[in-house]
Amino acid sequence: MKAPHLRQQLALEEASRSPDGAGGFSLSWVLVGLLWAEMSAGSGRDAAGEEVVLTSVAWRITVRGAAPGMAERPKPGQRFRLGPRIFTILAVAESDASGRWLTCTCREEAPK
């Protein structure tokens, strides 16, 4: 595998839950770190929700490898942010046998 071109800096964020005082919780996103990435768009689709129609695009985002358990290793449930754009991480896998690169399967959704 040839080395990816890591040209885009993305913020890696993780959800943080705080009690809301009424028995529930509020969700906020905390910056875990900044990662350089190569981004490749896949196919898109429209999905009708209850109140809005969302467009959804699959993305393959490649970043430098990190050992499992390290903070800079992305994991499902986290997200990447690029300005106002959000890329939800669905899966993470090593791209090569040496583990130098990680491929993150992500989904970007936006109101139509």
**Rounded-to-integer distance, Cα 104 and Cα 38, Å:** 10
All domains of the chain in start order, with CATH: 8-111 (2.40.10.270)
Q: Is the pLDDT of residue 105 over 70?
A: yes
Residue range 73-90, pLDDT digits in tens: 999 999 999 999 999 999
Between these two residues, 9 and 46, which has the higher pLDDT value? 9
**What is the predicted pLDDT for the residue at 95?**
87
Which of these, 83, 87, 85, lies nearest to 106 by C-alpha position?
A: 87
Site of tokens 């109101």 = 111
Note the pTM of the prediction, 2 decimals.
0.84
